[in-house]
C-alpha cells in the first residue's frame, strides 16, 4: 500500500520549485535567442551587401585598362532586384576576384550619365560584359540566376563566347536623366524652322 500512496500523493514543494526554475530559464534563453536573431537580421541587410560590393568595386578607369575582363553592373540602393542579387554577386566576386574586375556604377550618381546613355540603361540591374581590351561583348538586364551569371563569367574569363548573352530578367525601371542643352539664338526664333530639320 505504501506504493499507491506515494503515486497519488500531491507533489512535493521541491519538485514544483525545480520546474519553475527550469521554465524560467527556458523563457530567458528563448528571449535571448529572439533578441539575438532580430539584431542579427538588422545588421545583415542586402543594402549593406550592395554597399560592400560598391566599396570593393574596381574603378571603371582601371577596369578598362588593366588587361582583365570586366563585369560592369549598373545598380541603385533602392533597386529591389539589385538587393536580391547582391548575395549571389558577392559570392561570384569572391570566386572570380583574381581573374576579372567587378565594377559597380550607381545610376543615382550623375557622374555615370555618359555610360548610362552609352549602354542604354533603362532598367537595373544592367550588366555589361567587357573583354580584356575593355570592349563590350554582351549585356544582360534584370534578375539573373546565379548559375547563368557564373556560366557567363566563366566564359568571359576563358575568352569563350558567353552562353547567355543578351539575357533579360525582372528589372527595376530607371530613366537616365538627360541634361538640357543650352539654348541658342536660332532656337529662340520661331521662324527658324530649318533648325528642326534633320539631314
CA 15 → CA 4, 90, 133, distances in Å?
A: 19, 54, 78
Say whether 49 is catalytic: no
79, 103, 128, 176: the catalytic one is 79
Query: Is 70 in contact with 57 (CB distance < 8 Å)?
Result: no
Residue with cell 533602392: 78
**3-class secondary structure for 2-61?**
HHHHHHCCCCCHHHHHHHHHHHHHHHHHHHHHHHHHHHHHHHCCHHHHHHHHHHCCCCHH
60, 82, 116, 156: the catalytic one is 82
Say whether 135 is catalytic: no
Q: What is the dihedral of CA 17, 21, 23, 29, to 10 degrees?
A: 180
The three three-digit cell numbers of residue 62, written as one number: 582601371
Element (H, E) at 189: none
Nearest residue to 145 (alpha-carbon basis) of 56, 85, 64: 85
The three three-digit cell numbers of residue 106, written as one number: 550607381
By annotation, the residues acting in catalysis are 79, 82
Amino acid at each position: 500500500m505504501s506504493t499507491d500512496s506515494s503515486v497519488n500523493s500531491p507533489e512535493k514543494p521541491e519538485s514544483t520549485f525545480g520546474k519553475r526554475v527550469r521554465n524560467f530559464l527556458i523563457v530567458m534563453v528563448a528571449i535571448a535567442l529572439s533578441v539575438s536573431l532580430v539584431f542579427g537580421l538588422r545588421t545583415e541587410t542586402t543594402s549593406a551587401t550592395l554597399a560592400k560590393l560598391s566599396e570593393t568595386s574596381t574603378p571603371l578607369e582601371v577596369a578598362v585598362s588593366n588587361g582583365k575582363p570586366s563585369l560592369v553592373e549598373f545598380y541603385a540602393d533602392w533597386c529591389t532586384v539589385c538587393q536580391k542579387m547582391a548575395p549571389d554577386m558577392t559570392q561570384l566576386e569572391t570566386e572570380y576576384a583574381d581573374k576579372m574586375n567587378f565594377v559597380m556604377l550607381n545610376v543615382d550618381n550623375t557622374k555615370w550619365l555618359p555610360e548610362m546613355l552609352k549602354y542604354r540603361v533603362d532598367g537595373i540591374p544592367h550588366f555589361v560584359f567587357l573583354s580584356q581590351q575593355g570592349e563590350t561583348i554582351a549585356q544582360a538586364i534584370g534578375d539573373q540566376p546565379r548559375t547563368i551569371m557564373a556560366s557567363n563569367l566563366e566564359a568571359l574569363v576563358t575568352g569563350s563566347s558567353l552562353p547567355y548573352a543578351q539575357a533579360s530578367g525582372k528589372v527595376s525601371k530607371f530613366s537616365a536623366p538627360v541634361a538640357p542643352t543650352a539654348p541658342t539664338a536660332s532656337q529662340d526664333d520661331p521662324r527658324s524652322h530649318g533648325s528642326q530639320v534633320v539631314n
